[in-house]
Structure 1
Amino acid sequence: MSMRFQSVTFDLDGTLLDTVPDLYESARRMLAEIGAPTRSESEIRNFVGQGVVVLVRRCLDHGTPPDEAAMAEAVACFQQHYAAVNGEKTRIFPGVVEGLAAWASTGLPLAVVTNKPAAFTEPLLARLGLNRYFSAVISGDTTPHRKPHPAPLLEACARMGRPVANNLHIGDSKHDIETARNAGCKAVYCVPYGYNEGQTVSASDCDALVNSLYSAWQLASGTASS
């Protein structure tokens, strides 16, 4: 089996894990506590992708952006509630465990690159038993910048000891595609089942649209059935 990549990086929310149920519950509790209008779970799903601060801002914005004081209160409130429920209703997407096991069998180093803060990322991966697959976890506060800035992905490759030019990035959104392009990855694959802020990921926007992480491994390893 030939493999043209030397490392693989993965997005978290919407790619490895369906985290929306816990994010929705945290947002529901936050909005109730601060006396703000509620949001539906489908709205929260469309708000995911650029980190906690952006998620909270979108929850509060009903035509008028919240001021700094309101944002500070809401973010702190959300983080408190999310810490309490993180992982309770989150589910691993189909094909993820099989895909990670297949990727791990190649001996390539694997890493997570997410905009979720480390305080939530690492406990979540451990709770769901996925942390054992990764030699690096880059969260939204690991570097001074978040995706789509290339810094998080470049940091992941540096920690894996692999050149970014030979890295494959797998995600679910336009932000993952932009991050991979900005960093100079060899390729970027996307899964169609993620969030992408309510938009459909097009096969023309990435190097391959794959049904699952296992399908991504099959394609990259040349074992996909024709």
Structure 2
Amino acid sequence: MSGLLYDAAMIDLDGTLVDTVGDFEVALARMLADLGLPAVGRPFIERTVGQGSEHLIRETLAEAGGAPELYAPAWVRYQHHYEAVNGRHSAIYPGVPEGLAQLRSAGLRLACLTNKPVAFACELLRHKGLSELFEHCFGGDSFERKKPDPLPLRKACEALGSVPSRTLMVGDSRNDVQAARGAGCPVVLVRYGYNHGEPAESAGADRVVDRLDEITLSALVPTWP
């Protein structure tokens, strides 16, 4: 993967760059407490994150025994609590700074592309000292649709000035693979992320790696044209 083959990369955030389950756990527990509902378990959160805040809140309410009508107040309380804890109970995965540096050194322009609301995503990148490595940060509310729809990837490619076939998608779940296939992008998954309780190998990516800094020229060139 060099400037001769690829021009850019789009990198997912939760479960790919940063382990954010701790942030979700605290914010959701506070949200549920405000509504008089019990907290949900960490394994449930790990299986559920990745499809946007709306999906997470609806599924969490159902898991905690809350009525669907509680969604509106739950949304308000969740936004309030998540803003307060964003980045405080999370950690960058090993190999992430090195991996991003390698991609940039190979001449790729980088965008963070996540289903997390863009304000929270950009703040998390700043909090973790990663924001300056990216030219763009796009969230689940940046475009009309979220991953696994391919639209966000196509829009990010436009912003990066690259065509999909020369733009790598790096993520942690089948949502990233489905979106990449629809957009015509090559896709790599990290093995440690939140793939809805399924092994990353089952998602059908072009390659699965243990760490972001394993995404190297020699590892990727033989995998796709």
Fold conserved between structures, TM > 0.5: yes
* Number of equivalences: 221
Is 1:214 the counterpart of 2:203? The answer is no
Residues of 2 paired with 1:32 and 1:153: CA distance?
A: 36
* 1:182 corresponds to: 182
Q: Aligned residue for 2:61?
A: 60
Matched residue type, 1:27? L
Q: What's the counterpart of residue 24 of structure 2?
A: 23
Structure 1: 4+ residue segments shifted above 6 A? none
Q: Which runs of 5+ in 1 are unaligned?
A: none
Residue type at the aligned position of 2:23: D
Contact 1:95 1:212 in 2 (8 A): yes
Rounded to whole Å, the distance in 2 between the matches of 1:62 and 1:111 is 33
User: How far did 1:66 drift?
Assistant: 3.6
Secondary structure of 2:112's aligned partner: strand
Counterpart of 1:54, as a letter, is H
Partner of 1:118: 118
- Give the partner amino acid of 2:88: E
Is the contact between residue 29 and residue 38 of structure 2 (CA under 8 Å) also seen in structure 1?
no
**Cα offset for 1:21?**
0.2
Q: Give the distance between the partners of 2:19 and 2:139, measured in 1 at CA.
A: 17
CA 1:95–1:63: 2 relative to 1, 3 Å? closer
Counterpart for residue 146 of structure 2: 146
Q: Which residue of 1 aligns with 2:51?
A: 50
Within 1, Cα distance between the matches of 2:104 and 2:70?
A: 44
> Where does the alignment leave 5 or more consecutive residues of structure 2 unmatched?
none
Identity, in percent, stands at 41
* TM-score, normalised relative to structure 2: 0.92
What does 1:62-141 align with in structure 2 at a 5 Å threshold? Answer: 62=63, 66-67=67-68, 69-141=69-141
- Equivalent residue, structure 1, for 2:33: 32
Give the 3-state SS of the residue equivalent to 1:12 in structure 2.
coil
Partner secondary structure for residue 170 of structure 2? strand
Q: What is the root-mean-square deviation in Å for CA atoms of aligned residues?
A: 1.9
**CA offsets, 1:173-213, max 9 Å, x none?**
0000001001111x111111001111111167111111111
Q: CA-to-partner distance for each residue in 1:58-77, whole Å, 9 max, x for gaps? A: 1111497843x410110111
Deviation at 1:155, TM superposition (A): 1.2
